[in-house]
Amino acid sequence: IRTYCSYMILLTVLLSTYILAVNYYAFRLLKKQQEDTDVGDMQAGDGDGRLLLISAMGGAIAVFLTMFFLRFRLDSMLLMIVLPLLAVVNIYCFYLGFRSIFVFW
């Protein structure tokens, strides 16, 4: 039983680190896109694929909140529909992960 608890603690720490890392990267990605758009290096629609990919990997909450915080890309209908749906899926997967459903031995 002691080994099981140590595995669970390790998996919880790894999952928490993954969630924090993906959300931080999502925040930085959107901030960089805003800076590049302001400078003129990039157009407003470029980079949607990267945003959707990082959102599917678990960063949908960070991308969605950062969009409102920076007031950037709020006119993109695709992102405004897909990101809340991905956020709900991300939250559910994180819940399952913390409830020890995704335990890989």
pLDDT of the residue at 103? 54
pLDDT of the residue at 22? 95
Which is more confidently placed, 75 or 24? 24
Residue 81: CB atoms within 10 A of its CB come to 10
CB 50 within 8 A of CB 28: no
Average pLDDT of the chain is 84
Which is more confidently placed, 54 or 73? 54
pLDDT of the residue at 78? 87
> What is the spatial distance between Cα 94 and Cα 29, in angstroms, rounded to a whole number?
21
Average pLDDT over residues 76-98: 89
User: pLDDT (tens digit, 9 = 90+) per residue, 57-72?
Assistant: 999 999 999 988 988 8
